[in-house]
Chains A and B, each alone.
Chain A
Amino acid sequence: MQSKFEDFRWDVVAGGAMILIALLFLVVGSQLTFGSLTRMGPGFLPVCAAIGLVVLGAVVALEGLKGETAVPELPKLRPFLVVIACPIVFSLMIEWAGMVPTVLVTAVLARMAEPLKWGWDLVLVPIGLAAVGVFIFIDFLGVAIPAF
């Protein structure tokens, strides 16, 4: 299994992904006015850059076919998912729950990036952060988010 992972031609996939992203931009961008060199429309630069990205994606994929394979340095899944989830959870809660509950939940969630072990920090860090949110952001900096 390990050797399969190491031998896999990741750059071919990466180049393919680049081409897909570029095609998305190309398809949407081609609906914009392209214009001419003298009067460039809003579609001129995006279409040119997207074509460039298609070509470069193909080059990356072709280069990945030959030579040694590079092993990607992937992160651990747990911190990856937790860190990515934090802003999403924050954005889903903040509008109806207000600063304090949102911060408490986000801080506890962020703590789960590493294996949970009981410690006073588990309670004190979220409370401290809620205080920072209320006193520094709302009171001092004047950010217009309700506390609750």
Chain B
Amino acid sequence: MQDTILYGFSLAGTWQNLGFALVGCLLGTLIGVLPGVGPLATISMLLSMTIYLDPLSSLVMLAGIFYGAQYGGSTTAILCNLPGEASAVVTVLDGHQMARKGRAGAALAVAALASLFAGVCATIVIALFAPVLSNFALRFNAPEYFALMLLGLMAAVVFSGAKMSKALAMACLGVLLGCVGTDVETGASRFTFGLPELSEGIGMVALSMGLFGLSEIIMNISKSDSREVMQAKIGRLWPSREEAGRAAPAAARGTLIGSLLGVLPGGGVVLSTFVAYMFEQKISKTPEIFGKGAVEGLAAPEAANNAAAQTSFIPLLTLGIPTTPTLALMLGAMVMQGIQPGPEVMVARPDLFWGLIASMLIGNVMLVIINLPLIGLWVQLLRVPYRILFPVILTICCIGAYSLEFSAVDLMALSAFAGAGVLLVAFGFPPVPLLLGYILGPLAEENLRRAMAISGGDATVFVTRPISLTIMLLIVALIAVVTLPTFRRNREVFDEQ
């Protein structure tokens, strides 16, 4: 009983937790639906809300926020032709065209149902494979973990879409920022400049909320003249029988592709949406309608996106490695709750592991239940002017960030990171590697120390152990692939598409 999904439901399925899932979904959609505010920004701004709860309830609410933010992002993408993040770029192609033809309601319903199907399937994949992988991961030791973290960091650098030198610089800066605070191993204060508020390090909420949340608000207000307001009617909500018949198999194929690719570090989620779309176009009998409102072109990438977002939890839960920036925030939130994800969690805290899996299923179902009837409301929200929306978000962010530690330093940091976030992006420095460096840095340092202590200072330990060697070779391959000229040309073509 202790190691099945039913156990998870018995914990996560209480009325109280269902309530938190509902609130999470609502808040996630509410913020995620705002134009220009992608899932990463949404989660970074809502993180502070979950800290007050007990670990399981906070995981349940986080899962709700996660799905709400994803779905809210798709809604904006479809209605306003504004992808909030890279993985929604493909959704826009056919989704927005459907909306322009007066089928916005059907497009939103197809996206929601395809996401639900993909989410449920991928959660089952996690429930089946995560325990197996966890057992395997128990054989991992410090060198393997260090190598994995390096892989995660390098993937974030490589897939950031910026110049290699700038992305690497951001990763280094992130590692340095992660060093601020008390060194866990020796107890020495690092870069605290005598401020007691910094002894626990720079707050993750302040860093991510500033870097991704507030800086997006600044850019949105700056560009607000060009905001396209959706005037078209939503139309009938349900897809026609013919549309459903075409969307269902496409969603199934997208789910399969997403589930497989989601496990890859770095670009897995984004990649899966492109692959799913191109695959549909290839096997379609009418490839010419793609880009003009083909329902398959919406259902497949939406399903792939959601499935991949889901299976990307596998490396996080079994190894403690976040493969996407959103997962890095989820990891940070778990650590704040005193949960260190990794293979031990499943053995030591089966309640949390299965509770999370169950809450993923609950979150997925909850999302569709509340969102289909509320689509009209979200559309209204898109019409609310910025002069009302942004003061609300900004003030609530301030209250949220302050109430974590009651520290003025946190809010100063929030300000600094908001300004830095805008300037970094303006000058072509990607902020995502910084976040990954900041979160993975301390974990990597701990494992590097252990690895070196075990091997007696022998740095070859990373290439003499088979698993660690494999991961190191993967890193080399990853770097080689992006720096080699042929691939670079391909990637430029890919980026243009």
Residues of A within 8 A of B (CB): 10-11, 14, 18, 21-22, 25, 28-29, 32-33, 36-43, 45-46, 49-50, 52-53, 56-57, 59-60, 63, 70, 72-76, 79-80, 83-88, 90-92, 94-95, 99, 103, 106-108, 110-111, 113-114, 119, 121, 125-126, 128-129, 132-133, 137, 141-145
> Contacts of A107 on B, CB cut-off 8 Å?
391-392, 394-395
- Interchain residue pairs with CB less than 8 A apart (25): A11-B427, A36-B457, A50-B176, A56-B168, A57-B169, A72-B427, A79-B218, A80-B419, A85-B415, A86-B394, A86-B398, A87-B214, A90-B395, A91-B410, A91-B411, A99-B399, A106-B394, A106-B398, A107-B392, A108-B391, A111-B387, A111-B391, A113-B390, A114-B221, A129-B396
> Contacts of B414 on A, CB cut-off 8 Å?
87
**Given the complex of chains A and B, what is the CA–CA distance between A125 and B179 in angstroms?**
40
**Given the complex of chains A and B, what is the CA–CA distance between A83 and B397 in angstroms?**
11
**Given the complex of chains A and B, what is the CA–CA distance between A146 and B189 in angstroms?**
33
Q: Which residue of A lies closest to B387 (CB)?
A: A114
> Contacts of A79 on B, CB cut-off 8 Å?
217-218, 221-222
Contact among B173, B190, B399 for A137, CB-based, below 8 A: B399
Which residues of B from 328 to 386 have beta carbons under 8 Å from A?
Answer: 386
> Contacts of B392 on A, CB cut-off 8 Å?
107, 125, 128-129
Q: A11-B428, A107-B392, A119-B387 are in contact. List 10 more A-B contacts (CB 8 A).
A: A33-B186, A39-B453, A42-B183, A59-B165, A75-B218, A83-B214, A84-B218, A103-B395, A114-B386, A125-B391
> Contacts of B456 on A, CB cut-off 8 Å?
38
Asked if B406 contacts A103 (CB within 8 A), the reply is no
> Contacts of B229 on A, CB cut-off 8 Å?
none
Interface-forming stretch among B32-40, B236-244, B441-449? B441-449
**Given the complex of chains A and B, what is the CA–CA distance between A49 and B438 in angstroms?**
12
**Given the complex of chains A and B, what is the CA–CA distance between A134 and B475 in angstroms?**
51
> Contacts of B395 on A, CB cut-off 8 Å?
86, 90, 103, 106-107, 110, 129, 133
Q: How many A-B pairs fall under 8 Å by CB? A: 193
Q: What size tier do the contact residues of chain B reach?
A: 35 or more
**Given the complex of chains A and B, what is the CA–CA distance between A133 and B392 in angstroms?**
11
**Given the complex of chains A and B, what is the CA–CA distance between A38 and B452 in angstroms?**
5
State the 7 A-B residue pairs at the shortest beta-carbon distance, nearest first: A91-B411, A38-B457, A37-B457, A110-B391, A79-B221, A91-B408, A42-B188
> Contacts of B406 on A, CB cut-off 8 Å?
144-145
How far in angstroms is the closest Cβ of chain B from A44?
8
Q: Which residue of B lies closest to A137 (CB)?
A: B399
Contact among B190, B401, B425, B426 for A46, CB-based, below 8 A: B190
How far in angstroms is the closest Cβ of chain B from A36?
6
How far in angstroms is the closest Cβ of chain B from A62?
9
> Contacts of A85 on B, CB cut-off 8 Å?
415
Residue with the highest number of chain A CB atoms closer than 10 Å, among B399, B457, B459: B399
User: Is B422 an interface residue, CB under 8 A from the partner?
Assistant: yes
**Given the complex of chains A and B, what is the CA–CA distance between A80 and B421 in angstroms?**
11
**Given the complex of chains A and B, what is the CA–CA distance between A143 and B396 in angstroms?**
13
How far in angstroms is the closest Cβ of chain B from A91?
4
**Given the complex of chains A and B, what is the CA–CA distance between A52 and B441 in angstroms?**
14
**Given the complex of chains A and B, what is the CA–CA distance between A37 and B453 in angstroms?**
8
Asked if A110 contacts B172 (CB within 8 A), the reply is no
How far in angstroms is the closest Cβ of chain B from A144?
7
> Contacts of B214 on A, CB cut-off 8 Å?
83-84, 87
Asked if B427 contacts A10 (CB within 8 A), the reply is yes
Asked if A53 contacts B190 (CB within 8 A), the reply is no
How far in angstroms is the closest Cβ of chain B from A8?
11
Asked if A49 contacts B391 (CB within 8 A), the reply is no
Q: Which residue of B lies closest to A62 (CB)?
A: B165
> Contacts of A137 on B, CB cut-off 8 Å?
399, 403
User: Is B117 an interface residue, CB under 8 A from the partner?
Assistant: no
User: Is B289 an interface residue, CB under 8 A from the partner?
Assistant: no
Asked if A94 contacts B186 (CB within 8 A), the reply is no
> Contacts of B49 on A, CB cut-off 8 Å?
141
Residue with the highest number of chain B CB atoms closer than 10 Å, among A36, A37, A63, A95: A37
**Given the complex of chains A and B, what is the CA–CA distance between A88 and B391 in angstroms?**
15
User: Is B388 an interface residue, CB under 8 A from the partner?
Assistant: yes
Q: Which residue of A lies closest to B393 (CB)?
A: A110
Asked if B186 contacts A56 (CB within 8 A), the reply is no
**Given the complex of chains A and B, what is the CA–CA distance between A63 and B405 in angstroms?**
42
Given the interface contacts A60-B166, A110-B395, does A121 sit within 8 Å of B387 by beta carbon? yes
How far in angstroms is the closest Cβ of chain A from B34?
15
Residue with the highest number of chain A CB atoms closer than 10 Å, among B176, B186, B386, B457: B176
Which residues of B from 224 to 254 have beta carbons under 8 Å from A?
Answer: 224
Asked if B396 contacts A84 (CB within 8 A), the reply is no
**Given the complex of chains A and B, what is the CA–CA distance between A22 and B453 in angstroms?**
28
User: Is B191 an interface residue, CB under 8 A from the partner?
Assistant: yes
> Contacts of A126 on B, CB cut-off 8 Å?
391
User: Is B138 an interface residue, CB under 8 A from the partner?
Assistant: no
> Contacts of A114 on B, CB cut-off 8 Å?
221, 224, 386-387
Given the interface contacts A91-B412, A94-B402, does A42 sit within 8 Å of B457 by beta carbon? no
Given the interface contacts A83-B214, A88-B411, does A132 sit within 8 Å of B398 by beta carbon? no
